[in-house]
A and B are shown apart, each in its own frame.
Chain A
Amino acid sequence: MNYRTPLSRARGLGSAREGSHHWWRQRVTSIALFPLTFWLAISVANLPDANYEDVVVWVTAPWNTILLLSFIIIVFYHAMLGLQIVIEDYVHTDWLKILGMLSAKMVLAFLALAAAFATLRIVFIG
């Protein structure tokens, strides 16, 4: 028998006061990515014609290093949030959905770490 009042049940199952975090973080990361996108697009467009030394010089320039690391961290977080929504919307088998979300997040986190590590390696070891 359930002695809880409808109000208390609503409180228990209702707003946890953090349901909008996902949405909010997606907006914040998108605003942060706005200026970074222009900087990255212009730089990446030159990549096919840049030689190895050019790329190393570009990555090791302090501003580029900082912006590149910022881009890597923010873009992968933004991608995590975005892919989560895509998986939630189109995968309806529970275990597959959870497996998909977990693997997407782990792979993206690993890639972010690999990219940051590679960047620092270029800067400090060359």
Chain B
Amino acid sequence: MNQRPLSPHLQVYRLPLTAILSIIHRATGVFLVAGVILLVVCLMAVAEGAQQYATVQSFLRSHLGRLFLWSWLYALFFHLCHGVRHLIWDTGHGFCRATLNRYAFLELAASVVLTSLVLVLTLFQA
């Protein structure tokens, strides 16, 4: 075999972290729409009155509701962090391999930190 590089063989190709984050950015974008729809439902329920709001809130207070809310908030912050990276890319910076990987870890860490900060803030207010 000669040593020429091969094009990726799709079935055994391990996606680099940057590619995985790019896909997650899209997936979180679509998931965030679902959460925004719940926000609309929430606002409409509040406009209807206390009784309707209680119904929506009982979902938000359930385990499933809290899981949805906090995964939505994490998705929100991940989408925000990766979005910031897109804005940096738009200026023409941050394309060399080392920077790409460093930013990838940085934005994963930042989204976890931001979600935790909101969690701490919420626990303090409660």
Contacts and interface: CB of A to CB of B under 8 A. Distances in A.
Interface of A: 27, 30-31, 33-34, 37, 41-42, 44-49, 52, 55-56, 59, 75-76, 79, 82-83, 86, 108, 111, 114-115, 117-119, 121-122, 125
Nearest to A49: B126
16 contacts: A27-B90, A34-B84, A41-B118, A42-B122, A44-B39, A44-B69, A45-B69, A45-B118, A46-B125, A48-B65, A52-B46, A82-B29, A83-B30, A86-B26, A114-B44, A115-B40
B73 interface: yes
Contact of A30 (B53, B83, B119): B83
Contacts of B26: 86
Q: Which DSSP category, helix, strand, loop or mixed, fits chain B's interface?
A: helix
Contacts of A119: 43, 47
A34 B40 contact: no
Interface band, chain B:
35 or more
A118 B69 contact: no
Interface stretch (B9-17, B54-62, B97-105): B54-62
Given A42-B121, A114-B40, A114-B44, A48 B61 contact: yes
Contacts of B83: 30, 34
Contacts of B121: 42, 45
